[in-house]
Structure 1
Amino acid sequence: MGNTFLNLALLIIFHFSMPTFSMKLTTILTDQSALLALKDHVIHDPENVLTTNWSTSAPVCNWFGVSCGSKHRRVTALDLTGLGLVGTLPPHLGNLSFLSLLYVTNNSFYGGLPVQLSNLRRLKYLSFGNNSFSGEIPSWLGSLTELRTLFLYQNNFKGVMPFSLAYLSKLEVLYLFENQVSGSIPSTIFNISSLQEIDLSYNMLSGSIPSVPRDLLLLEVIDFTTNNLTGHIPKDMFDHLPNLKGLHWSLNLLSGRIPASLFKCKELQVLSLAFNQMEGSLPIEIGNFSQLQDIYIGRNHFEGEIPKQFVNLTLLRLFDCSHGNFTGIIPHEIGNLNNLNWLNLAFNNIAGSIPPQLFNISTLRMISLDTNQLSGHLPSNMEELYLDFNHLADSIPMYISNASQLTLLDVSSNYFSGSIPDNLGNLRNLKILNLASNNLTSSGMSFLFSLTNCRVLEKFLFHSNPFISGELPRVVGNLSSSLEEFSASSCNIRGSIPNEIGNLSHLINIELGGNKLIGQVPTTIGGLEEL
């Protein structure tokens, strides 16, 4: 009797243990089946990773790009980044119920996102970035409430941003840049208190920028660059963003003034509002941004003087307020900006002398001061120097040839006089040289002999210097083989055009009009196929 009960107990235990073992085995096979379905949907595997590695002869957890949890031995991560795969995503991936990370970044997957992926409720990190996915951004993404990062960037998604994204209460990073998303930005997107970065740049979004209704203490970057956003920036926009570091809103249609609340963002490092329709003056409080490194506010309707307080921004690397209506002078204290690398004040109404302290900044590589009313002298430590359309006078100094890193020099449309230096050939990295529209002279155009040492020179313009005169020397044919543009019109040049000019095989444009040339056009010019 006792043996009967014992056998019955063992039979019951065995009966109930079988489904448990079977279910576990089935679940493992389900993961494997889902991945094999993905393999079948890949039509091109250039590195043969899936072809050679994803095989039933090896455990799923050992497959390339697959990670499993130590407890349940279920697939928890799938990372196929950068394999060049071409294909579609099968609905079977929705069966990977333990998946917390899914990365198929930097491939060529196309088509829509299968709705079955909404079953992956454990997902924390999801990246479809840099593929060719299309269709609308699915609203079911809002059901993946464990998501920390959502990368949909650089695809072909269209339609509007679903309001359901606001349900992702744990989301930290949202990248939707470089798609074709239209419509307005959901007003609820700033309800996500965990948000750290949001990048919606390079889309077709319209409407106004939504206000921020609550403190977002973690939000550091907002990038809405290159959209069609309109209207004024909400006045209280920045009351709740104390740790904002990057504000990237260039290339939109924003109007109005910079709100005073912006200056509460003491951690701001990048301020990018260029190519909008902003107006008003630049507030003096800009000098309080002790962490600010880059300022892009050009191509707006700002006016008034550039606040002197901007020289307090000792971490500043880039300052671009070009194409505005700024007036006043460049303060001498600009020399305090010891980290400045790029300065663009072009196309304003700035007057006075260029402070010599500016050229003592050893980190400075590009200065664009063209189309202002400036006077002063040339520096010798730049890589790119734009000083055209100003009131610069005197001669071009010989020491300019000490600027060994100079790649671009534009001093056109000024009042320079005297001889063109014969040592410009020391600028071996020079690609663009524009001396046009001045009062420069040269004895026998001797400067051309030196410039034959500039072997990467692509554009050389010295037209509209009527006092140069002389004949065009044969050495012109020894200029850089990379030369694409040569402009010497209206320079009072005499004599004939040398045959050697036909040696400039990459020439696209040549201008010699308005001179006193005689003879025929050399037949060698007919061999310039790109002309």
Structure 2
Amino acid sequence: MELTGVLPDCIGNLTSLQSLLLARNNLEGTIPESLARSSSLIELNLSRNNLSGEIPPSFFNGSSKLVTVDLQTNSFVGKIPLPRNMGTLRFLDLTGNLLSGRIPPSLANISSLSSILLGQNNLSGPIPESLSQIANLNKLDLSGNRLSGFVPVTLYNKSSLEFFGIGNNSLIGKIPPDIGHTLPNLKSLVMSLNRFDGSIPTSLANASNLQMLDLSSNHLSGSVPALGSLRNLNKLLLGSNRLGADIWSLITSLTNCTRLLELSMDGNNLNGSLPKSIGNLSTHLQKLKFGGNQITGIIPDEIGKLIHLSLLEINTNKQSGQIPMTIGNLKKLFILNLSMNELSGQIPSTIGNLSQLASFILIIITYLVKYRQI
């Protein structure tokens, strides 16, 4: 179905209307005031349309029975309306609009909320400390805004949180050392593209439900803690920081993460040589990024065991020796970047087995030629 046009003003006059589900259409215009004032509506989903204008404040008045409001991926502007005495709303998704201003601290007055999704807008100012007062809050996504300042300490103590996304803002401060204990139910922690400094807490190894940890593009330093206890981890993204660690101990620890799909450690200060245990990383691993570090030694033959890799980047290091013949086992490779190293010898004939490899193979050829001319 692909509906077009505007929402008619009379739609809110349907006194028995409880659910209005019009997602993924080409509707445009504004939300009729009559709809916002509906006293029967329980579920509203207008996501992924071309709606615009401001969100009517009437949605959040005391007489509303709304449980779900999903307005994501439209072009709504203005501020988030101030809620008043709502007791039913559980799910609020305003992701991917053009909303501005500050996050209303009075959102905490909606004690029934479990999901607040405000990512990809133009919201500014600090994160309200009052959000931590919402008893059953389990999803909070504030990523992709212009938020600044420190993250309220009370949010780090919100034990009900399962998804905590604050990436791509201008937030500062240190990650609390006990975060792995105070957020025991956490499944996704996204803090990338901010200005967090200090070290990665070792307590994260105790967040046993963690599936995604994204701390990339910050100012984090120190060593990478052993995270092998995170058996559910599928994405570990720590690139573009100032982390320094022996690559051997890091990889050996992660061999216990049997569900790992993506490991990004590029743009740090990792040192040492790639160990043979790299072949014991998850057989499901699809992306491996170690570029822009201080890794030395040869590329071990065991890397050929990672047969589901589609991306392998070990560029801009101090790798020496030959490209292993076993690289030809990685038949799903699409991107292979070994440039800016000290590799020598011939390009292995097994490269011809990589039928899905894009033209990035030319990067390897170019730098090998340059190396021979030095």
Report the TM range for the smaller structure's normalisation: 0.7 to 0.9
* Structure-2 separation of matches of 1:502 and 1:358: 43
Query: Once the 2 structures are TM-superposed, how far is the Cα of residue 331 of structure 1 from its aligned partner?
Result: 1.6
Q: 1:62-461 residue pairs with structure 2 within 5 A?
A: 203-212=1-10, 215-239=13-37, 241-264=38-61, 265-284=63-82, 286-376=83-173, 377=175, 379-380=179-180, 381=184, 382-421=186-225, 423-461=226-264
Residues 435, 444 of structure 1: alpha-carbon distance in 2 compared, 3 angstrom cutoff: closer
- What one-letter code is carried by the residue in structure 2 that aligns with 1:391? R
- What one-letter code is carried by the residue in structure 2 that aligns with 1:477? G
* Structure-2 separation of matches of 1:395 and 1:529: 37
Aligned residues: 325
Give the match's secondary structure for 1:417: strand
When normalised by structure 2's length, the TM-score is: 0.84
Task: Tell whether 2:282 aligns with 1:480.
Answer: yes
Q: Is the 8 A contact 1:211 1:234 kept in 2?
A: yes
Query: Once the 2 structures are TM-superposed, how far is the Cα of residue 213 of structure 1 from its aligned partner?
Result: 7.0
CA deviations over 1:15-73 (Å, ceiling 9, x no partner): xxxxxxxxxxxxxxxxxxxxxxxxxxxxxxxxxxxxxxxxxxxxxxxxxxxxxxxxxxx
Larger radius of gyration: 1
Query: Once the 2 structures are TM-superposed, how far is the Cα of residue 358 of structure 1 from its aligned partner?
Result: 1.4
Task: Tell whether 2:302 aligns with 1:500.
Answer: yes
Query: Once the 2 structures are TM-superposed, how far is the Cα of residue 235 of structure 1 from its aligned partner?
Result: 2.9
Query: Once the 2 structures are TM-superposed, how far is the Cα of residue 445 of structure 1 from its aligned partner?
Result: 3.4
Query: Once the 2 structures are TM-superposed, how far is the Cα of residue 215 of structure 1 from its aligned partner?
Result: 4.4
Residues 214, 281 of structure 1: alpha-carbon distance in 2 compared, 3 angstrom cutoff: closer
Give the match's secondary structure for 1:425: coil
Identity %: 37
- What one-letter code is carried by the residue in structure 1 that aligns with 2:229? N
- What one-letter code is carried by the residue in structure 2 that aligns with 1:209? L
Q: Is the 8 A contact 2:12 2:34 kept in 1?
A: no
Q: Is the 8 A contact 1:235 1:260 kept in 2?
A: no
Partner of 1:525: 327
Query: Once the 2 structures are TM-superposed, how far is the Cα of residue 424 of structure 1 from its aligned partner?
Result: 0.6
Query: Once the 2 structures are TM-superposed, how far is the Cα of residue 485 of structure 1 from its aligned partner?
Result: 1.0
* Structure-2 separation of matches of 1:306 and 1:261: 18
- What one-letter code is carried by the residue in structure 2 that aligns with 1:500? E
* Structure-1 separation of matches of 2:80 and 2:170: 20
Query: Once the 2 structures are TM-superposed, how far is the Cα of residue 276 of structure 1 from its aligned partner?
Result: 0.6
* Structure-2 separation of matches of 1:249 and 1:214: 14
* Structure-2 separation of matches of 1:420 and 1:323: 29
* Structure-2 separation of matches of 1:213 and 1:497: 65
Residues 439, 220 of structure 1: alpha-carbon distance in 2 compared, 3 angstrom cutoff: same
Residues 444, 228 of structure 1: alpha-carbon distance in 2 compared, 3 angstrom cutoff: closer
Stretches (4+) displaced over 4 A: none
Residues 468, 210 of structure 1: alpha-carbon distance in 2 compared, 3 angstrom cutoff: same
Query: Once the 2 structures are TM-superposed, how far is the Cα of residue 237 of structure 1 from its aligned partner?
Result: 3.2
- What one-letter code is carried by the residue in structure 2 that aligns with 1:501? I
* Structure-2 separation of matches of 1:214 and 1:502: 61
Question: How well do the aligned residues superpose, as a CA RMSD in angstroms?
Answer: 1.5
Q: 1:506-517 residue pairs with structure 2 within 5 A?
A: 506-517=308-319
Residues 302, 499 of structure 1: alpha-carbon distance in 2 compared, 3 angstrom cutoff: same
Query: Once the 2 structures are TM-superposed, how far is the Cα of residue 362 of structure 1 from its aligned partner?
Result: 2.5
Residues 314, 205 of structure 1: alpha-carbon distance in 2 compared, 3 angstrom cutoff: same
Query: Once the 2 structures are TM-superposed, how far is the Cα of residue 229 of structure 1 from its aligned partner?
Result: 0.5
Q: Tell me, which stretches of 5 or more residues in structure 1 are unaligned? A: 1-202
CA deviations over 1:495-516 (Å, ceiling 9, x no partner): 1101111111211111011111
* Structure-1 separation of matches of 2:311 and 2:36: 51
CA deviations over 1:418-447 (Å, ceiling 9, x no partner): 0111x2101111111001000001135311
Residues 213, 230 of structure 1: alpha-carbon distance in 2 compared, 3 angstrom cutoff: closer
Q: Is the 8 A contact 1:289 1:313 kept in 2?
A: yes
* Structure-1 separation of matches of 2:11 and 2:130: 40
Q: Tell me, which stretches of 5 or more residues in structure 2 are unaligned? A: 334-374
Partner of 1:139: none
Q: Is the 8 A contact 1:352 1:374 kept in 2?
A: yes
Query: Once the 2 structures are TM-superposed, how far is the Cα of residue 220 of structure 1 from its aligned partner?
Result: 1.3
Query: Once the 2 structures are TM-superposed, how far is the Cα of residue 214 of structure 1 from its aligned partner?
Result: 7.3
* Structure-1 separation of matches of 2:35 and 2:64: 14
Query: Once the 2 structures are TM-superposed, how far is the Cα of residue 231 of structure 1 from its aligned partner?
Result: 0.8
Name the structure, 1 or 2, with higher relative contact order (CA <8 Å, separation 6+): 2
